[in-house]
Amino acid sequence: MNDLKTQLLPASQDAVDQAGELLRQGEVVAIPTETVYGLAASSLNGEAVKKIFSAKGRPQDNPLISHIADLSMLEMVVRDVPQAAYRLAEAFWPGPLTMILPRSEQVADEVCAGLETASVRMPSHPVAQAVIRAAGVPLAAPSANLSGSPSPTTAQDVFADMNGKIPLILDGGACEVGVESTVVSLAGPKPVLLRPGYITKEQLEQVLECEVLLADAVLHPLKQGEKAASPGMKYKHYAPKAEVTILKGPFSAYVSYVEKHCEPGTFCLCFAGEENSLPCPCVLYGHEKAPAEQAQRLFSALRELDARGAERVYARCPEEGGIALAVYNRLLRAAAFRVIEL
Ligand code: TXA
Ligand code: MG
């Protein structure tokens, strides 16, 4: 599937209409959302969804999130929707929150990858909403990267991974949030946070008025033979070509460590303003006390490291609560869980 001419178009009304037409014909189109760019196809069309898996090189057992434009589409994807889900929808939709619930009959089996549940979110990005409306169906859309590489936060990132594989990419500018949506499962006895994001565990608990459990895989590698609550968690993810190591500790200790270990090909992935104190080339990912900015910059920083030929990367460690938990979770995977306590 490497012979398509891929169009990259600004997201005008004409381009949105063209996207809707392609999606109704069972094609795959890349679209901007407020989190990251998505690779979209109709959630109700199994053959179309298969094209997403092949364009990404995604393992068949990793389910996809369906994107809806309004609540009238909810039951096309999921059923037995509890009050708790409506409370979360009221508080955070449209926005970067995905809920997991029992799947509907209508949604294609390929979307659920063999599970009895499906995941659904209502994106706030106006282009994503317009495309869903133009297609007239929920859109299954994983992040629009090749499986394993950092998620794309610009249309150019998508083009780098998807050129020749899909007919159309809509350019809606850089994504505001920059990391993928928060994923919470409401399919079990207690809510479980499977993937941290911009909507925090604390915010979910406030609305639900109960504890939200943190899936073990958020901060720890799966043990041998362990079953992932969220299949996506078991794969190597977000990884640049370089070997990334997270250095946990105060900045002074980070500087000393890097000074001892700086060789040609070594880069620092650090916070804005720190670059003048470091002996290696630096790629910045936001200010130390600004987790939303770190989230927005992280994936483009990982892509920049590849573009600049980094071989070894020493990363400054984000915090572990609030939005920073999302940043830490992605960085841990980019580092294949290599963390050195200073
Ligand atoms: O922000 C986002 O969520 C982006 C944009 C495009 O909306 N999409 C995205 O999709 O990140 P993807 O496929 O890259 O990540 C979906 C994650 C995967 O880790 C997958 O395993 C998990 O959600 N997931 C989806 N459906 C699930 C289900 N029924 N049960 C458990 N995990 C599920
Ligand atoms: Mg992804």
Q: What separation in Å is there between the alpha carbon of 151 and the centre of ligand 2?
A: 6
237 belongs to a structural domain? no
Specify the CATH number for the domain of residue 336: 3.40.50.11030
Domain housing 63: 7-218
Specify the CATH number for the domain of residue 188: 3.90.870.10
DSSP for residue 154: S
Of 238, 135, 112, the residue nearest 179 (C-alpha): 238
Q: In sequence order, what are the residues at sequence separation of 6 or more whose Cβ sits closer than 8 angstroms to the Cβ of residue 215? A: 192, 193, 194, 229, 230, 233
Q: What pLDDT score was predicted for residue 157?
A: 97
The string of pLDDT tens digits covering residues 76-105 is 999 999 999 999 999 999 999 999 999 999
Q: What pLDDT score was predicted for residue 238?
A: 74
Nearest-CA residue for ligand 1 atom 6 is 38
255 belongs to a structural domain? yes
Summarize the confidence of residues 312-320 as an average pLDDT.
Answer: 95
Q: What separation in Å is there between the alpha carbon of 59 and the centre of ligand 2?
A: 11
In the predicted model, what is the mean pLDDT of the chain? Answer: 95
**pLDDT above 70 for 236:** no
Predicted TM-score (pTM) of the model is 0.96
Token pair belonging to 302 = 């990982």
Q: How many domains does the chain have?
A: 2
Of 199, 180, 201, the residue nearest 299 (C-alpha): 180
Residue 128 sits in the same domain as residue 39? yes
Q: What pLDDT score was predicted for residue 235?
A: 58
- Locate tokens 């009895």: which residue? 116
Summarize the confidence of residues 144-167 as an average pLDDT.
Answer: 95
% of residues, the chain, pLDDT over 70 = 97
Residue 43 sits in the same domain as residue 189? yes
For the Cβ of 240 lying below 6 angstroms from any atom of ligand 1, the answer is: no
187 belongs to a structural domain? yes
Q: Can the peptide bond before residue 123 be classed as cis, meaning omega within 30 degrees of 0?
A: no
Residue 124 sits in the same domain as residue 36? yes
DSSP element (H, E) containing 121: strand 117-121
CB-count exposure of residue 145 (10 Å: 0-12, 13-18, 19+): buried
Residue 137 sits in the same domain as residue 173? yes
Residue 176 sits in the same domain as residue 253? no
